[in-house]
A and B are shown apart, each in its own frame.
Chain A
Amino acid sequence: MTQSTDPFEPPAGGLSLYIHVPFCERKCPYCAFESKVPSEGEIDLWLETLGKELKWWEKRIGKPSLETCYIGGGTPTVITGPQWLSLADIIDSHFTFEPDAEVTVEANPNSLKADHLLFWRDWRVSRVSIGVQSFDDAELLQLGRLHSAAQAYEAISASLASGFSVNSDFMFGLPGQTFRNWARTLSQAVSSGISHISLYQLSLEPGTPWESMSEDDLSDGYLPYRWAQWYLPRKGYNQYEIANFAKKGHESRHNINYWEEGEYLGIGPGASGYLKGWRYKNTSGITEYSRSLDRGGSAISSGERLIGEKRASEAAVLALRMSKGIDREEFSSKYGISEENKIIEKLSRFPVDLYEISEKRISLSSKGMRVANMIWSELV
């Protein structure tokens, strides 16, 4: 039986959903995500357009059952109680959920309210991801965050108390960030009781106020990352993906789905999706996004379908984000033994301590994860 390549047919297996909330109370100076401070009526416009976009999809793929759902941004906690109610309604009216579906919502410590937690628990949210970034007040100030370390701690405690599985994001490689600061932030993260930790290195993105900063002003990312790799597993958080550490059973299934080439629908301005081997990206900007749906079209602004070597190498790069790496049998049956050999050949140009090749799997070592960008750039 040949597999369908038509993205506009109902998905064959499980599906993930990503909903993008393109709003923040304030734009952080380093952030290049699709997001803005909402003007009057914009959140309602966004909600209304989401409904149209989902209707557009329903005509094509029906009402599929979700294995995971992720509401990210932006800052989903910018959205207030009644608006959350309509958001949940819109989602529920277009999808069903698997019994054990993982539903994650992102939150910022300053805007996360008790109302949110209550509503989320009553609806179907299982996981809260809090943008803490740092437990150092000076660093938070520098990053332009609207919360203090204490507020972050409170937000975590409240989320845990409400029974959610909690993740927090932390950033390293900040200008002036010392090794001590970083170690302290991580140790507080551990003692806060969260079950999942995401780490990001600061990158200077074009189009942000920090783009003109010199890379030389940033502190070296290698050491803090290596520290996290040493420290977090000792505290029970295993590195299951290049940027993610979790206690056993708390790995984010939504994220893993990305790296395992699972299908996902991306909804909202600037969101990306992947269906039946086809990647697409939505129109950016709330105004443009809503206009394109008003005209009766879709929100999709670009799409691509990789084939052959390109697709195989992308799959390899994605799989190598995961600690478990590439399943050789699965990979070669999907892309052919020659593509698998190419990956092995390219990896063999690197020092042997950067990767591991066993009978069943190909993966990056901890050391390889630290220089993964360089390795991947050889593979693509």
Chain B
Amino acid sequence: MILDKFRNFSIIAHVNHGKSTLADRLLEETGTIEGRNMKAQLLDMLELERERGITIKLVPVRMNYKAKDGQEYVLNLIDTPGHVDFTYEVSRSLAACEGAVLVVDAAQGVEAQTVANSYLAIDLNLEIIPVLNKIDLPSAQPDRVIKEIEDIIGINANDAISVSAKTGEGIVDLLERIVRDVPPPNGDPDAPLQALIFDSVYDNYKGVICYVRVVNGTLQAGKNIRFMSTGRDYELDEVGMFRPDMVKVSELGPGEVGYLAASVKTIAEARVGDTITESRRPAASPLPGYRKVKPVVFCGFYPVEREDINQLREALEKLQINDSALSFEPENSAALGFGFRCGFLGLLHMEIAKERLSREFGVDLVATAPNVVYQIVLTNQSIIEAHKPSDFPEQVKIEEIREPYIKLTVFIPEQFVGAAMQLCQEKRGTYVGMDYITPERVRLTYDMPLAEFILDFHDRLKSCTKGYASLDYDHIGFKAADLVKVDLLLQDEPVDAFSFICHTDQAYHRGHAVVGRLKELIPRQLFEIPVQAAVGKKVIVRMNIKAVRKDVLAKCYGGDITRKRKLLEKQKEGKKRMKQVGRVSIPQEAFLAFMDVTKAEDK
């Protein structure tokens, strides 16, 4: 098929503006998938994603469409994740396209991620097709939203297509517009091969499968290929495309989207954004835009049962095979034993990993509270990175602590400006700017410590703006701050899993909240347990968990010893699910709730 019949495009949208439903309609309309074979929102394949309604993994689809001009076109839809944790992945998916369908909810209007994703697309020089979705809603205000797109994003939107992904209205118009406006790919089939990896997944039989967009040259089965960031060569086993199931083909030409398998063992060898070329005739330079993603949020994962450590390691390894952004290294906690310090792109990414570990791999784990990476300048002027509270050296050796900052953009209806600003202040944000994007809607910009953001900012913003806020952020580097490490002590022994870093002014508050919740969450045991929060050697909060008094004795039914033993075994089973820290049994919920604990301080 000739190049000018190809259209490669993405759909970009703010969360819940209807991206996945719209994609489903396109698949249906083009007959790629029969309606009856379709589960709701086919593109969101992971169970968890479906539950949360956010797409994480990219699943490209090739659609054949006979346009009104009588010609057959091939439309490659490359889906993008809809969460700010995955901005880099979004940008690589967009880089594989010539056009983007910008979906905006006709009732809600432009939101923070609408802007962020549009800018990514504009930056990559994509043709943007604005689409107003949910026009069937009585509250839809197409005119207002068109004006918002023009005013806020700055692209022409008066020819925006009105669709209802729910009813199917406007879908054909959209397909026609994609054919008309998205430029066909151009590339030189005879040039040295350059193919962009925009995603890779692991398959038990084929090894790593790279989703690629061929930019120049031709990808032919049987040839040797080279990953340009690592310089490593592989023999190409299989080349294919998505219809939407994977189908083998003999070659992929420029402009085409498909997959390749080359017996690549780990996903770390096939990183998103990397360029694939031919070993024999390598391209002079890789495609632009590749970078190695760096985790920004860290937390410790520990098996509930110490002996399950190998199971956890295997599960993490398997997970990493599919998720190269996940990093982990072994760590040893005095309280929790052996575990892993894991790095993530953001909170959502962390929660997904946690969920998948328990759901797909059946690992029972305890997660410590998430934290950011700190830079610590020592008195001898060397700089170390702390990925967890226990990396912190003694107070006297610290010259300065630096923490990562983000530039935060919040979109809110103007009546919530006061509340949102107050929250940002409380979260140690530094005011950068505020502008009215429409008479009713305001954009607030703050610089804020990432640590404050990951704590509970999103939830609290939602609650103080009745859910009308949207946000986006960018990492902007490290800044010095007045931080302390707060240690939690059970029976005078520090439990490293519960220690945390916070601003000096908040140490007492948070310490109090954490101690209070631990007191609630840790069941009474056979002895009194003092729970303390301390900064350095100074105890700032102390409470006691009183010794157990219930459950003294019960009748042993007429010599029915089996019954009694089974009751005891049941009791033991319940205790098994607790983590033994010294002599104290801590239920898993205490660790899981630790995040909430640190959140609870101001309520």
How many residues in A have their beta carbons less than 8 Å from beta carbons of B? Answer: 47
The smallest beta-carbon distance between A172 and chain B, in angstroms, is 8
Cβ A272 vs Cβ B555 within 8 A: no
Q: Are A350 and B526 in contact (CB under 8 A)?
A: yes
Write the nearest CB–CB distance from B243 to chain A, whole angstroms: 57
Q: From the candidates A18, A201, A371, A377, name the one contacting B554 in the complex (CB within 8 A).
A: A201
- A116–B526 Cα distance when bound, in Å, is 46
Indicate if B552 sits at the interface (CB-CB under 8 A).
Answer: yes
Chain B 374-401 per-residue mask, 1 if CB under 8 angstroms from chain A, else 0: 0000000000000000000000000000
Candidate in B553, B554, B560 with the most chain A CB atoms within 10 angstroms? B553
Tell me if A304 and B562 are in contact (CB < 8 A): yes
Contact stretch, chosen from B193-201, B348-356, B565-573, B588-596: B565-573
A225, CB-defined interface residue at 8 Å = yes
Question: What are the residues of chain A within 8 A of B572 when measuring CB–CB?
Answer: 377-378, 380
Query: Which chain B residue lies CB-closest to A376?
Result: B568
Contacts of B561 in A (CB 8 A): 258, 272, 274, 279, 314, 318
Q: If A281-B562, A351-B527 touch, does A225 touch B568 (CB 8 Å cutoff)?
A: no
Beta-carbon contact of B562 and A377 below 8 Å:
no
Residue of A nearest to B576 (CB): A377
Bound Cα distance from A245 to B561, whole angstroms: 21
The stretch among A214-222, A287-295, A324-332 that forms the contact with chain B is A214-222
**Interface size of B in residues (CB-CB distance below 8 Å):** 25
State which residues 20-37 of A face B: CB under 8 Å.
20, 32-33
Which of B548, B554, B583 has the most C-beta atoms of chain A within 10 angstroms of its own C-beta? B554
In the bound complex, what is the Cα–Cα distance between A317 and B568 (angstroms)? Answer: 10
With A33-B558, A272-B559, A349-B583 known as contacts, the answer to whether A373 contacts B571 (CB < 8 A) is: yes
Contact of B550 among A33, A215, A304, A351 (CB under 8 A): A215
The residue on A at minimum CB distance from B552 is A221
When the two chains form their complex, are residues B565 and A377 in contact, meaning their CB atoms are under 8 A apart?
no
Report yes or no: B552 in contact with A173, Cβ–Cβ below 8 A: yes
A313 to chain B, nearest CB (A): 9
B575 adjacent to chain A (CB < 8 Å)? yes
| Contact of A380 (CB < 8 Å), options: B551, B553, B554, B569 | B569
Distance in Å: Cβ of B528 to nearest Cβ of chain A = 10
Any chain B CB within 8 A of the CB of A374? Answer: yes
Closest chain B residue to A200 by CB distance?
A: B555
Q: Which residues of A contact B205 (CB under 8 A)?
A: none
Within A262-312, the residues touching B (CB, 8 Å) are 264, 266, 271-274, 279, 281, 304
Which of chain B's residues have a CB closer than 8 A to the CB of A373? Answer: 551-554, 568, 571
**Interface digits, B521-549 against A, CB 8 Å rule (1 contact, 0 not)?**
00000110000000000000000000011
B549 contacts A220, CB within 8 Å?
Answer: yes
Once A221-B549, A279-B561, A314-B565 are accepted as A-B contacts, the answer to whether A377 and B555 lie under 8 Å apart by CB is no
A72 is an interface residue with CB less than 8 A from chain B: yes
The answer to whether A201 and B562 touch across the interface, beta carbons within 8 angstroms, is no
| A272–B572 CA distance with the chains assembled, in angstroms | 24
**Are A371 and B526 in contact, with the CB atoms below 8 A?**
yes
- The B72-109 residues at the A interface (CB cut-off 8 A) are none
The reply on B556 being an interface residue by CB < 8 A is yes
Closest chain B residue to A318 by CB distance?
B561
A29 to B527 Cα, complex, angstroms:
34
A274 with B559: CB separation less than 8 A: yes
Determine the distance from Cα of A351 to Cα of B584 in the docked complex, in whole angstroms.
11
Find residues 230-259 in chain A having any chain B CB closer than 8 Å to their own CB: 242-243, 258
A188 at the interface (CB under 8 A from B): no
Q: Which residues of A contact B565 (CB under 8 A)?
A: 314, 317, 380
Q: Distance in Å from the Cβ of A216 to the closest Cβ of chain B? A: 10
1/0 contact string of A190-207 vs chain B (CB within 8 Å): 000000000111010000
Answer whether residue A357 sits at the interface, using C-beta atoms and an 8 A cutoff.
no
In the bound complex, how far is the Cα of B581 from the Cα of A349, in angstroms? Answer: 12
Bound Cα distance A173, B556 (Å) = 16
Question: How far, in whole Å, are A243 and B571 apart by their CA atoms in the complex?
Answer: 20
Out of B526, B527, B550, which one reaches A221, CB within 8 Å? B550
> How does the 8 Å CB contact mask read for B237-268 relative to A, with 1 for contact and 0 for none?
00000000000000000000000000000000
A372 to B553, Cβ gap below 8 A? yes
Tell me if B553 and A264 are in contact (CB < 8 A).
no
A370 at the A/B interface (Cβ < 8 Å)? yes
Question: A377 contacts which chain B residues (CB < 8 A)?
Answer: 568-569, 571-572, 575
Q: Is the CB of B558 within 8 A of A242?
A: no
Docked-complex contact A201 and B552, CB < 8 angstroms: yes
Cross-chain contact of B556 among A220, A258, A350 (Cβ < 8 A): A258
| Nearest chain B residue, comparing its CB with the CB of A33 | B557
Contact B568 A200 (CB under 8 A): no
- The smallest C-beta distance from A280 to any residue of chain B, in angstroms, reads 9
CB distance from A34 to the nearest CB of B (A): 8
A263 shortest CB reach to chain B, Å: 11
Flag A363-379 by CB within 8 Å of B: 1 or 0 each: 00000011111111110
Whether A90 is near chain B, meaning CB under 8 Å from some CB there, is no
Bound Cα distance from A33 to B550, whole angstroms = 23
Q: Which residue of A lies closest to B528 (CB)?
A: A351
B553, A201: Cβ atoms under 8 Å?
yes
Rounded to whole angstroms, the CA-CA distance of A304 and B562 in the bound complex is: 8
Contact call A371/B548, Cβ cutoff below 8 A: yes
Check A203/B568 contact, CB under 8 A, given A222-B550, A304-B562, A377-B575. Answer: no
B residues less than 8 Å from A371 (CB atoms): 526, 548, 551-552
- Selected from A32, A304, A374, the residue in CB contact (under 8 A) with B551 is A374
Q: Which residue of B lies closest to A266 (CB)?
A: B559
Report if A146 contacts B (CB, 8 A).
no
For B525, the closest partner residue in chain A by CB is A374
Nearest A residue to B557 via CB reads A33
A354 at the interface (CB under 8 A from B): yes
Chain B min CB distance to A255 (Å) = 9
Task: Give A60 Cβ to nearest chain B Cβ, in Å.
Answer: 20
CA distance in complex: A375, B526 (Å) = 9
Check if A272 sits within 8 Å of B552, measured CB to CB: no
Residues on B with C-beta less than 8 A from A200 are 553-555
Nearest to A199 among chain B residues (CB) is B553
* Bound CA–CA A354/B527 (angstroms): 10
Q: Is the CB of B551 within 8 A of A221?
A: yes
Q: Can you list 29 A-B contacts (CB < 8 A)?
A: A18-B558, A18-B559, A33-B558, A199-B553, A200-B553, A200-B555, A201-B553, A220-B550, A221-B549, A221-B551, A271-B559, A272-B557, A272-B558, A272-B560, A274-B559, A281-B560, A349-B583, A350-B526, A350-B583, A351-B527, A371-B526, A371-B551, A372-B553, A373-B568, A374-B526, A374-B551, A376-B568, A380-B565, A380-B568
Additional A-B contact list (16), CB under 8 Å, known A373-B554, A376-B568: A72-B558, A199-B553, A200-B555, A203-B555, A220-B550, A221-B551, A223-B549, A258-B556, A258-B561, A317-B568, A354-B526, A371-B548, A377-B568, A378-B572, A380-B569, A380-B572
Nearest 6 pairs between A and B by C-beta?
A222-B549, A377-B571, A221-B552, A272-B560, A377-B572, A203-B554
